[in-house]
Amino acid sequence: MVFKEQTFHGLEPEIDAEIANRASLEAAVANALAIAGGIDASDVEVTMEESQIVLTGTVGTVGEIERATVVARAVEGVQSVHNRILLGGAGISDAH
């Protein structure tokens, strides 16, 4: 395989380190939640808004909501966590 030197028509693209750091921090928190005991994080989404980690989705118990916050805060590089996780089925009414 032959690699050709990249050309940028005079301007080298700037790699946005902030986006790379954001993605790696989101992935680290998601991985920590996936392997943490005491929480089923299969329906939890991890995103970063400004400088804080935001957790959204649903879990089965209040304990899992609290556990998700503890696990996310323990990840190196996380400054703050905003937990928007709801109990599974919360907000769904059986109005007839």
**Is the predicted pLDDT of residue 89 greater than 80, yes or no?**
no
Q: Tell me the whole-structure pTM to 2 decimals.
A: 0.74
pLDDT value at residue 11: 62
Element (H, E) at 23: helix 17-35
At which residue do the structure tokens 């190196």 appear? 76
Q: Which residues pair with 46 in a beta bridge?
A: 55
**Quick one: fold of 19-87?**
Histidine-containing Protein; Chain: A; (3.30.1340)
pLDDT digits (tens, 9 = 90+) for 8-62: 566 655 556 677 789 999 999 999 999 999 999 999 999 999 889 999 999 999 9
- C-alpha to C-alpha distance for 86 and 74, rounded to whole angstroms: 21
Read off the pLDDT band of 94 (50, 70, 90): very low
**Is the predicted pLDDT of residue 76 greater than 70, yes or no?**
yes
- C-alpha to C-alpha distance for 39 and 15, rounded to whole angstroms: 35
pLDDT value at residue 19: 75
Average pLDDT over residues 75-82: 95
pLDDT value at residue 8: 58
- Count Cα neighbours of 82 within 13 Å in the Cβ-side half-sphere: 8
Say if CB 41 and CB 48 are below 8 A apart. no
